[in-house]
Amino acid sequence: MGPDHGGRLNRAARDYDIPVGDWLDLSTGINPRPWPVPAVPTEVWQRLPEADDGLDAVARRWAGAPPHAGCLPVAGSQAAIQGLPRLRPACRVGVPQPGYAEHAWWWQQAGHTVVPVAHDAVDGQIAELDALVWIHPNNPTGLAVPVDRLLAWHATLAARGGWLVVDEAFVDPTPGISLAPWADRDGLLVLRSLGKFFGLAGLRGGLLLAPQSVCQALDQVLGPWAVSHPTRWLMARSLADTVWQTQARQWLADAASALDTTLGRHGLPPAGGTPLFRYCPHPQAATIHHELAQQGILVRLFEQPSALRFGLPPDSATLERLDQTLARTCHATTS
Amino acid sequence: MGPDHGGRLNRAARDYDIPVGDWLDLSTGINPRPWPVPAVPTEVWQRLPEADDGLDAVARRWAGAPPHAGCLPVAGSQAAIQGLPRLRPACRVGVPQPGYAEHAWWWQQAGHTVVPVAHDAVDGQIAELDALVWIHPNNPTGLAVPVDRLLAWHATLAARGGWLVVDEAFVDPTPGISLAPWADRDGLLVLRSLGKFFGLAGLRGGLLLAPQSVCQALDQVLGPWAVSHPTRWLMARSLADTVWQTQARQWLADAASALDTTLGRHGLPPAGGTPLFRYCPHPQAATIHHELAQQGILVRLFEQPSALRFGLPPDSATLERLDQTLARTCHATTS
């Protein structure tokens, strides 16, 4: 079995005997105000997707990737996370610790040696690595290593044929720190996702921005029609909708700030995060997680270190509900 | 590079300098009157799909599979075609010749020895095979081996731990010949697709019906959220829509019969097919294919043996257009 994940609302509904519709689900880092999906034309459902539909050019422009960078739409960045380890012979690969657990799992499954690396230990360990996965900004901590330092890591790895794989699933609220502008450099692989900022996790849309040869190799591993036609069609439209993107970045910043105020009021001041989620280390995280769930609020629990991750409430009414529930919970927990 | 396919309308539009919208595309076996896709709720685009949404039970009922058979939704039967070869150690696998080329490609990619098998040579070769892929009914010929004979092949293979993989992408117009009712037997693997009969090729929806252990192993290889949420949501609804399915079977039978009359009139009487496509061997297939394309009609060309495959025109106006174009083409070809 692979790693566990947030977003399992059906299971929580059963475990706590609360109907799915009664939950406030803050267990993901998904924008609760998604890009408004238009009606998908019949022929898009009907016809096989075609790789030459122009989506790659739209995506390259959106990401600020160079014209000669490869750009492969994938069925969520998860598809690239699963496929990329199959493109290299067995090697030593560093994965961020803590960090999204799927990276380590799939490199291991493909026979590689996985080395957990803390963000302050990379410089000491990089000489022993053939590849390094970096989550930028990190999930769940929100830590963003400066771009210069990432490019230096890349240069070190690339000089001996290595890879820096940068998972930018949560970069969209702060696109200025993306490594996409360098995605034509040998050994630099950038993953982007439509799931989080666009709020379209169900769509399963993502991108690999990397040298053409790497994109072609991943395309071969993933096979034909790996991304559904409605997904490609909606990706092209959402990536081109810069008006919505600008408004969404503003709303996310405001909503994250309001959430911080509420969390801080109940002894859970965030230690970090991104505008899409807030990260709150707390020694009694498991207890708080359980007591919130008993009251129909699902957040994400991390055990090492002991912490909670809160997604954004979609509006002031749900923020109020969180506020009141935390008031009861944190009183009970500390009494 | 993998095998070539039908359905590449964008490329034909460029090659023949005819705008995409002006083509009559008969190059696929996709129902041109698709299941009417309803509006997909926002939360379906937004939320990650969850494996415990009940889709497997709906699909098992639709297919007539036993309650204890495994049932894994996949991103088109293509996903299972790609993944299943990774579940067995290197072995000898028979693939139907002629037949959909993706099967042989992915078994080869996974390191297996692929043995092309003609439908009348299976009994002589099966003793030397560890697995056999069978396309039921065949694409492009339409040939359907009787169920009893398929079950006998399965018994022979299963007795020594082998597999019979039955690709039923085109079985829906004639569901009575499906092997799904036996999909709980060790070593019997049935692939189904939403692309052809439901006319939803863009959706990338399919199913593996097989023993639970095989479905679990494929699920591990394909990873989490391998099928998009809208795809799962629409699969559940289309598979349950038995009224539409009954009407579609009737329309397909009538449309195929009308197409046969037209093809026969121009010296292209089908040698076989299914209600979703007609198969016409012809020594000058390549010439006819090219001349139809020059007039904006795309059909599928097969070179060995030399043959054309015609999908169904969606209505009487397009059938008329095909009729008139064939009159010009077949005159030119034989003069």
Among chain B residues, the shortest Cα distance to A40 is held by: B39
Q: Determine, for residues B106 and A44 on separate chains, whether the beta-carbon distance falls below 8 Å.
A: no
- In three state form, how does the secondary structure of chain B look? CCCCCCCCHHHHHHHHCCCHHHCEECCCCCCCCCCCCCCCCHHHHHCCCCCCCCHHHHHHHHHCCCCCCEEEEECCHHHHHHHHHHHCCCCEEEEECCCCCHHHHHHHHCCCEEEEECCCCHHHHHHHCCEEEEECCCCCCCCCCCHHHHHHHHHHHHCCCCEEEEECCCCCCCHHHCCHHHCCCCCEEEEEECCCCCCCHHHCCEEEEECHHHHHHHHHHHCCCCCCHHHHHHHHHHHHCHHHHHHHHHHHHHHHHHHHHHHHHCCCCCCEEECCEEEEECCCHHHHHHHHHHCCEECEEECCCCEEEEECCCCHHHHHHHHHHHHHHHHHHHC
Measured in whole angstroms, the distance separating CA B102 from the mean position of its chain's CA atoms is 11
Q: Determine, for residues A7 and B47 on separate chains, whether the beta-carbon distance falls below 8 Å.
A: yes
Q: Say which of B42, B76, B225 has its CB closest to residue A204.
A: B225
ipTM above 0.90, yes or no: yes
Residues in chain B with CB shorter than 8 Å from the CB of A102 are: 223-224
> pLDDT value at position A175?
97
Among chain A residues, the shortest Cα distance to B6 is held by: A48
Read off the pLDDT of each residue in B267-293 and give the average, rounded to a whole number: 97
Residues in chain A with CB shorter than 8 Å from the CB of B227 are: 204
Residues in chain A with CB shorter than 8 Å from the CB of B73 are: none
Among chain B residues, the shortest Cα distance to A29 is held by: B47
Q: Say which of B44, B200, B226 has its CB closest to residue A202.
A: B44
- Per residue in B307-321, pLDDT (tens digit) is 999 999 999 999 999
Judged against a pLDDT cut of 90, whether residue B101 lies above it is answered with: no
Residues in chain B with CB shorter than 8 Å from the CB of A220 are: 1-2
> pLDDT value at position A15?
95
Q: Say which of A28, A36, A223 has its CB closest to residue B2.
A: A223
Judged against a pLDDT cut of 60, whether residue B332 lies above it is answered with: no
Query: Closest Cα of chain B to A157: distance in Å?
Result: 28
Query: Closest Cα of chain A to B52: distance in Å?
Result: 7
Q: For CATH 3.90.1150.10, list the domain ranges present in chain A.
A: 9-34+243-334
Fold observed for domain B9-34+243-334: Aspartate Aminotransferase, domain 1 (3.90.1150)
Q: Determine, for residues B7 and A47 on separate chains, whether the beta-carbon distance falls below 8 Å.
A: yes
- Per residue in B47-81, pLDDT (tens digit) is 999 898 999 999 999 999 999 999 999 999 999 99
Residue to test with chain B: of A23, A225, A233, most B Cβ within 10 A: A225
Judged against a pLDDT cut of 80, whether residue B204 lies above it is answered with: yes
Q: For CATH 3.40.640.10, list the domain ranges present in chain A.
A: 42-240
Read off the pLDDT of each residue in B216-243 and give the average, rounded to a whole number: 97
> pLDDT value at position B10?
83
Residues in chain A with CB shorter than 8 Å from the CB of B224 are: 2, 5, 78, 102
DSSP secondary structure, A237-290, as one string: HHHH-HHHHHHHHHHHHHHHHHHHHHHHHTT---SEEETTEEEEE-TTHHHHHH
> pLDDT value at position A46?
93
Q: Say which of A7, A223, A229 has its CB closest to residue B48.
A: A7
> pLDDT value at position B1?
59
- Per residue in B110-126, pLDDT (tens digit) is 999 999 999 899 999 99
Res. A54 pLDDT band, cuts 50 70 90: very high
- Angstrom distance (rounded) from CA A255 to CA A316: 9
Which residues in A123-138 are b (16+ Cβ under 10 Å) and which e? eeebeebbbbbbbbbb
> pLDDT value at position B333?
58
Q: Determine, for residues A52 and B10 on separate chains, whether the beta-carbon distance falls below 8 Å.
A: yes
Judged against a pLDDT cut of 70, whether residue A332 lies above it is answered with: no
Res. A6 pLDDT band, cuts 50 70 90: low
Residues in chain B with CB shorter than 8 Å from the CB of A225 are: 76, 78, 204
> pLDDT value at position A9?
84
- Per residue in A158-215, pLDDT (tens digit) is 999 999 999 999 999 999 999 999 999 999 999 999 999 999 999 999 999 999 999 9
Q: Which residues neighbour B109 within 8 Å (Cβ) at sequence distance 6 or greater? A: B85
Residue to test with chain B: of A46, A55, A56, most B Cβ within 10 A: A46
Among chain B residues, the shortest Cα distance to A194 is held by: B46
Residue to test with chain B: of A47, A56, A77, most B Cβ within 10 A: A47
Query: Closest Cα of chain B to A286: distance in Å?
Result: 24
Query: Closest Cα of chain B to A18: distance in Å?
Result: 16
Q: Say which of B8, B49, B75 has its CB closest to residue A50.
A: B8
Among chain B residues, the shortest Cα distance to A46 is held by: B200
Nearest to B77 by CA among B203, B173, B165, B207: B207
> pLDDT value at position A330?
74
Query: Closest Cα of chain A to B288: distance in Å?
Result: 24
**Residue pair A27/A300 in contact by the 8 Å Cβ criterion:** yes
Residues in chain A with CB shorter than 8 Å from the CB of B49 are: 202, 204
Among chain B residues, the shortest Cα distance to A197 is held by: B46
Among chain B residues, the shortest Cα distance to A195 is held by: B46
Q: Identify the three-state secondary structure at position A220.
A: helix
- Angstrom distance (rounded) from CA A110 to CA A131: 14
Residues in chain B with CB shorter than 8 Å from the CB of A39 are: 39
CATH 3.40.640.10 fits A42-240, yes or no: yes
Q: Say which of A10, A28, A195 has its CB closest to residue B50.
A: A10
Query: Looking at the whole model, is its pTM more than 0.90?
Result: yes
Judged against a pLDDT cut of 70, whether residue A335 lies above it is answered with: no
Residues in chain B with CB shorter than 8 Å from the CB of A50 are: 7-11
Query: Closest Cα of chain B to A48: distance in Å?
Result: 4
Q: Determine, for residues A203 and B45 on separate chains, whether the beta-carbon distance falls below 8 Å.
A: yes
Q: Say which of B30, B46, B225 has its CB closest to residue A46.
A: B30
Query: Closest Cα of chain A to B88: distance in Å?
Result: 16
Among chain A residues, the shortest Cα distance to B199 is held by: A46
Judged against a pLDDT cut of 50, whether residue A141 lies above it is answered with: yes
